[in-house]
A and B are shown apart, each in its own frame.
Chain A
Amino acid sequence: EVQLVQSGAEVKKPGESLKISCKGSGYSFTSYWIGWVRQMPGKGLEWMGIIYPGDSDTRYSPSFQGQVTISADKSISTAYLQWSSLKASDTAMYYCARQGKAVAVDYWGQGTLVTVSS
Chain B
Amino acid sequence: QTVVTQEPSLTVSPGGTVTLTCASSTGAVTSGYYPNWFQQKPGQAPRALIYSTSNKHSWTPARFSGSLLGGKAALTLSGVQPEDEAEYYCLLYYGGAQRVFGTGTKVTVL
- Chain A residues near B (Cβ < 8 Å): 35, 37, 44-47, 49-50, 59-62, 95, 97, 102-111
**B residues 61-100 touching A (CB-CB < 8 Å):** 89, 91, 93, 96-100
Inter-subunit contact B93/A103 (CB<8 Å): yes
Q: Distance (Å) between the CB of A19 and the closest chain B CB?
A: 20
Inter-subunit contact A44/B98 (CB<8 Å): no
Inter-subunit contact B57/A106 (CB<8 Å): yes
- Interface residue? B110 (CB, 8 A): no
Given A45-B46, A47-B91, A108-B46, residue A103 in contact with residue B100 (CB < 8 A): no
Q: Distance (Å) between the CB of A116 and the closest chain B CB?
A: 21
Given A103-B36, A105-B91, residue A61 in contact with residue B101 (CB < 8 A): no
Name 7 interchain pairs, CB-CB below 8 A, sorted by A: A45-B91, A47-B100, A61-B98, A103-B93, A104-B55, A105-B48, A108-B45
* Interface secondary structure of B, over-half rule: strand
Given A102-B52, A105-B36, A105-B51, residue A60 in contact with residue B46 (CB < 8 A): no
Partner of A61 from the list B89, B97, B102, B103 (CB cut-off 8 Å) is B97
Given A95-B46, A109-B45, residue A103 in contact with residue B97 (CB < 8 A): no
Closest-by-CB residue of A relative to B52 is: A102
Closest-by-CB residue of B relative to A110 is: B45
Closest-by-CB residue of B relative to A50 is: B97
> Could you list 14 further interchain pairs (A-B, Cβ under 8 angstroms) beyond the known A102-B34, A102-B55, A108-B47?
A44-B102, A44-B104, A45-B101, A45-B104, A61-B98, A61-B100, A103-B36, A103-B93, A103-B99, A104-B52, A104-B57, A106-B48, A108-B45, A109-B45
Q: Distance (Å) between the CB of B48 and the closest chain A CB?
A: 5
Inter-subunit contact B97/A60 (CB<8 Å): yes
Partner of B36 from the list A44, A49, A60, A104 (CB cut-off 8 Å) is A104
CA distance A103 to B52 in the complex (A): 7
| Chain A residues near B102 (CB-CB < 8 A) | 44
Closest-by-CB residue of A relative to B91 is: A105
Closest-by-CB residue of A relative to B2 is: A62
Given A45-B46, A46-B101, A110-B45, residue A102 in contact with residue B51 (CB < 8 A): yes
